[in-house]
Amino acid sequence: MSDVKELGSSPESASGSRAFGGTTFVAGVIVGTFVGACIALLVAPNRGAVSRRRLGRRAREWFERAGEGLREEMGNASDRARRRLLRRRRRWRARLDRLAADAGESYADPM
């Protein structure tokens, strides 16, 4: 009786079942997706051509909206980057002007 408990509680069997469990889960998700798609096609209220046309129209609308949003965000990002670069440019110019003034003062005043 104790031999059975030892075999069932070994670390090898526990780690093996975890790896197999993950694979089983992924396979279950794939099979479930396929079965769900088949059932959806069987109980769809419209003919296939009508459903495909509607899906295509929706996909184009979503694609256009996504493109508009992407263009807008890229424009915003471009504006932000331009402002940051101009700000850095002003800072560097101010630093260079200070360095030039300091260098001019130290050159003009030879101790």
What is the full DSSP assignment across 14-59? HHHHHHHHHHHHHHHHHHHHHHHHHHHHHH-SS-HHHHHHHHHHHH
User: How far, in Å, CA of 111 to CA of 108, rounded?
Assistant: 9
pTM, to two decimals: 0.39
- When pLDDT is cut at 50, 70 and 90, the band that residue 6 belongs to is very low
Question: At a CB cut-off of 8 Å and minimum separation 6, what does 51 contact?
Answer: 44
- When pLDDT is cut at 50, 70 and 90, the band that residue 110 belongs to is low
Q: What confidence score (pLDDT) does residue 95 get?
A: 95
Q: Average of pLDDT values for 57-72?
A: 90
User: How far, in Å, CA of 25 to CA of 35, rounded?
Assistant: 15
Q: Average of pLDDT values for 56-72?
A: 89
